[in-house]
């Protein structure tokens, strides 16, 4: 059972993309199991840089199956944009599989994310405002819309109508911002559904079958241990579980099948957004680390906070 997993041991941005890219070249299956387009890996192939947010890194190589697992939250517009950019560079996404159980990010998630962060003032946590947290909240609250729902027009219409009604009350009455439009969302997302349909399948079966068949399966972690919802620097964390156990839950594979877990450490520390950072450098040395290490968010472009290596964290 040749499985491998790459996770971050700090606050993310440790250079996981380089390690994942190296291992992806040797893998037969590459699996994203948690997070959404709030995470990004920059991978360079043939002198071309690819900023991957939802697509697994194996997508840049031929002959590999690339899986977006059930633990991922998917923004269809972002994913289709990534696929289009990939194809412009002469690459193909035909090897992609998307879990029918993955949850869908909708425009009201982004709006709620923005409004909630704004309302917190000095207590804001530094979210990317990509709707990740609100989408996971709907998942836990059991009102989320999954990819399988998006694939069924009647089911999607019914669930979307309920959610838009509730979310618009929150947007207008609680946060005092404009509501979202049901008809616009319905039209856009039914269009996305048709474009994504060829990729949708039961990826839990795909991954378990690959592992049991002795295939080389790589689980590609996003974010990092200190951003784990349960085990990180709460509340300044992400909305999923970027630790090794999260890969098991988010892909449908039992933990007994996870071997060769690789934790990536950077020689100094960085984090994006608010939250405790004991070794932070707010001086010229910190600026030097940021500029020399190109420490700016792959997704947001935000300058990362920098500091000395914190071995206690590692």
Asked whether the CA dihedral 32, 36, 39, 40 is positive or negative, the reply is positive
CA separation, residue 73 to residues 48, 70, 91, 137, 190 (Å): 27, 8, 24, 11, 17
- Is 13 assigned a catalytic role? yes
- Token pair of 195 as six digits: 């474009």
Of the residues 21, 41, 75, 138, which is catalytic?
41
- Whether the ω angle into residue 107 lies within 30 degrees of 0, i.e. cis, is no
| Nearest residue to 64 (alpha-carbon basis) of 15, 30, 40 | 30
| Nearest residue to 249 (alpha-carbon basis) of 260, 261, 259, 257 | 257
- Is 109 assigned a catalytic role? no
- The continuous run of DSSP H or E covering 22 comes out as helix 16-24
Sheet (strand 261-264) strand order: 200-201, 96-99, 65-68, 29-32, 217-220, 3-8, 261-264
Tell me the three state secondary structure of residue 308: strand
**Most distant CA pair in the chain, distance:** 58
In angstroms, rounded to a whole number, what is the distance separating the alpha carbons of residues 143 and 41? 30
| DSSP states along 57-121 | GGGGSTT-EEEE-TTBEE-HHHHHHHHHHHHHTT---TTEEEETTSEEP-HHHHHHHHHHHHHTG
Judged on CB neighbours under 10 Å (0-12, 13-18, 19+), 5 is buried
Q: What is the CA radius of gyration of the chain?
A: 19
Residues recognised as catalytic? 13, 41
């Amino acid at each position: 059972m040749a499985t491998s997993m790459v996770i971050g041991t700090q606050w993310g941005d440790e250079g996981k993309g380089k390690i994942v890219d190296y291992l992806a070249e040797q893998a037969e299956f590459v699996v994203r199991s948690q997070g959404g387009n709030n995470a990004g890996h920059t991978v360079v192939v043939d002198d071309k840089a690819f900023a991957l947010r939802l697509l697994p890194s194996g997508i840049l190589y031929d002959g590999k199956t690339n899986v977006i697992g059930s633990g991922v939250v998917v923004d269809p517009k972002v994913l289709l944009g990534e696929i289009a950019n990939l194809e412009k560079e002469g690459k193909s996404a035909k090897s992609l599989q998307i879990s029918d159980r993955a949850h869908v990010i909708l425009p009201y998630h982004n709006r709620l994310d923005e409004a909630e962060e704004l309302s917190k003032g000095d207590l804001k946590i530094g979210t990317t405002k990509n709707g990740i947290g609100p989408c996971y909240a709907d998942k836990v609250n059991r009102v989320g819309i999954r990819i399988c729902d998006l694939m069924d027009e009647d089911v999607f219409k019914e669930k979307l109508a309920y959610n838009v009604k509730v979310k618009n009350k929150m947007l207008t009455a609680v946060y005092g911002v404009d509501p979202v439009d049901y008809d616009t969302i319905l039209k856009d997302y039914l269009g996305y559904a048709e474009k994504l349909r060829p990729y949708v399948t039961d990826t839990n079966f795909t991954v378990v079958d690959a592992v049991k068949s002795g295939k080389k399966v790589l689980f590609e972690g996003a974010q990092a241990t200190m951003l784990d919802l349960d085990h990180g620097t709460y509340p300044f964390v992400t909305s999923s579980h970027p630790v090794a156990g999260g890969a098991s839950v988010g892909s449908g594979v039992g933990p007994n099948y996870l071997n060769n877990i690789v934790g990536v450490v950077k020689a100094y520390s960085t984090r994006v957004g608010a939250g405790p950072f004991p070794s932070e450098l707010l001086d010229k040395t910190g600026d030097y680390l940021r500029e020399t290490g190109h420490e700016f968010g792959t997704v947001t472009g935000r300058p990362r906070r920098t500091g000395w290596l914190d071995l206690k964290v590692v």
